[in-house]
Amino acid sequence: MRHHQRLFIQILSSAALLSVLGGCFARTSVEGPPAPRRLTVGPGKPDVANRHLSSVMIKASVEQRDRSICSGVLISPSLVLTAGHCVCKNGRRVQGPNGEERLVFNGSSCQQRVIVKTYVYNPEQENLDKINDPDDYDALTRHYTGRVQPHPRFEVTLIGSGSAAAGTERRLDDYYVESVRADLALVFLTKDVDAKIPIAELPDDEVPVGTRVELVGYGVGYGQQKPGEQMIELRRVGDNKVKDKKELVQSEALKGVLADAEKIVFDRTGALALGGDSGGPCLQMKRNAKGAVVFSLVGIASWSTANESIFTSVYQHREWLGERKRCSRNEACRSRVIEQSETH
């Protein structure tokens, strides 16, 4: 059995949600407790200093009973980048040539509308990481509505394991990842976010192996959330170094799954993206021509195994992102996107 590729798929609301990082896609099974020195984005460290205001929380369903969340990042005042699986929940079952069952998620399975939240915390608030109810945060929170536009090549395919009992449908946690491609989606907001919220910069080049970056997300982390418990919706940050991409196909957990250049891998020597962190950014701190600190967007959290987190490279999709970013700043273009989303 390909134990390390197994993903726990959650059913959230009435639709099947592929949740690759636990909060929005799926978690891989973990044997035993994590390493004592392991740092995760969830729990990680609360972003009390508001270092990463461009990181937003996404609620991919308007149904009150759906408590799932994902993360995302602003790349313009009216454009959020997240993972495609976060906003494309309705997979279709396909029968393979040898009778195997596949579950396919692509651009035809996406939500039309999502809610985006920005958080500015009171930096003087104490014990922020010990608060159990999001309503107790001393924070300025704003809600925005957005229309979804997935990457044109977005597709995730799961393959079933074992046989479903007669007269029953296969359980979603009986699927394994077969392929993940262009796991990205954009959310065009119907209005700009507050002018004080900074924007993450698109990268000028691919991040070198060994570069230290910061991972940001709103998840609670594997094993931190009790069944039925509300997500805390606290922005957390951790750091890690980019792992050598050549190790990608040497990993038993990833063989045959990810062999292209669009994936960035982090191992458990540092922060890993976990439950609720799907769609969240990893960012590289740089200085611009004026000497000011800026954060360059390296990748978007896609999915994790027990020992690794995989992010989709932003640089590999820079042309599509750059064109869509320009569209978001053109009122006529942005209006067309929003209108088209409403009619499909």
Could you report the per-residue pLDDT of 200-224, keeping only the tens digit for each? Answer: 999 998 888 889 999 999 886 444 5
Does any domain span residue 214?
A: yes
Give the whole-angstrom CA distance, residue 66 versus residue 36: 33
User: What amino acid occupies position 59?
Assistant: K
Does any domain span residue 10?
A: yes
Does any domain span residue 34?
A: no
Per the structure, the complete domain to which residue 329 belongs is given by 3-28+39-343
Report the b/e string of 163-188 with b at 16+ CB within 10 A: eeeeeeebebebbbbbbbbbbbbbbb
pLDDT of residue 73: 98
pLDDT of residue 70: 92
| Closest to 221 measured CA to CA, from 46, 48, 11 | 46
User: What amino acid occupies position 73?
Assistant: V
Residues in the chain: 344
CATH of the domain at 19: 2.40.10.10
How many domains does the structure of the chain reveal? 1
| Helix-helix angle 331-343:318-328, to 10 degrees | 100
Does any domain span residue 279?
A: yes
| Closest to 278 measured CA to CA, from 137, 87, 76 | 87
Helix (H, G, I), strand (E, B) or coil at 194: coil
Q: Judge contact between 60 and 80, C-beta under 8 A.
A: no
pLDDT of residue 268: 72
Does any domain span residue 33?
A: no
Does any domain span residue 311?
A: yes
Does any domain span residue 85?
A: yes
Mean pLDDT split into 10-residue runs, the chain, 344 residues = 30 27 32 31 74 92 64 97 91 82 89 92 74 70 94 90 56 75 94 94 89 88 48 81 57 46 74 84 90 91 82 92 96 87 56
Give the whole-angstrom CA distance, residue 83 versus residue 302: 6
pLDDT of residue 173: 66
- pTM assigned to the model: 0.81
